[in-house]
Amino acid sequence: DTAVSQTPKYLVTQMGNDKSIKCEQNLGHDTMYWYKQDSKKFLKIMFSYNNKELIINETVPNRFSPKSPDKAHLNLHINSLELGDSAVYFCASSQDAGTISTEAFFGQGTRLTVV
């Protein structure tokens, strides 16, 4: 039973399209995150939500919009896709964002390729 699951695992799309990536966690955690991993494996946080409320919004273009319908789901919608958006996107969750020692559990990643 997968703890943090993302769909799709692979996504190939043309420039200018709009796409969504879905994430669900069954761990009962309060906090969920989106991270972007570039081609050099560098990981950078994009957003985090705690109990459906946005708490971290790093410098990310407005074309990226997270949506959290409930605390078990955090979806990422991307408008007007650009070549530079090609990356692996990871969803993660943790028990409580306020507890800094809490580990994060990661999904398998979604490899987005924009052509």
Partner 1 sequence: GDSVTQMEGPVTLSEEAFLTINCTYTATGYPSLFWYVQYPGEGLQLLLKATKADDKGSNKGFEATYRKETTSFHLEKGSVQVSDSAVYFCALSSADKLIFGTGTRLQVFP
Nearer to partner 1, 4 or 114 (CB): 4
Q: Which of residues 49-108 bind partner 1 (CB under 8 A)?
A: 50, 55-56, 90, 92, 97-98, 100-108
The DSSP string of 5-59 is EEE-SEEEE-TT--EEEEEEE-S--SEEEEEEE-TT--EEEEEEEETTEEEEE-S
How far apart are the C-alpha atoms of 85 and 97, rounded to whole Å? 27
Cis peptide before 66 (omega within 30 of 0): no
How far apart are the C-alpha atoms of 55 and 103, rounded to whole Å? 17
Nearer to partner 1, 16 or 98 (CB): 98
Task: From residue 50, give the alpha-carbon distance in Å to each of 24, 32, 92.
Answer: 14, 7, 12
Q: Which string of x and - marks every residue 7-26 that binds partner 1 (by CB under 8 A)?
A: --------------------
Nearer to partner 1, 45 or 60 (CB): 45
CB of 6 to partner 1, least distance (A): 8
Nearer to partner 1, 61 or 98 (CB): 98
Provide the binding-site residues for partner 1, judged by CB under 8 A. 4, 31, 33, 40-45, 48, 50, 55-56, 90, 92, 97-98, 100-109
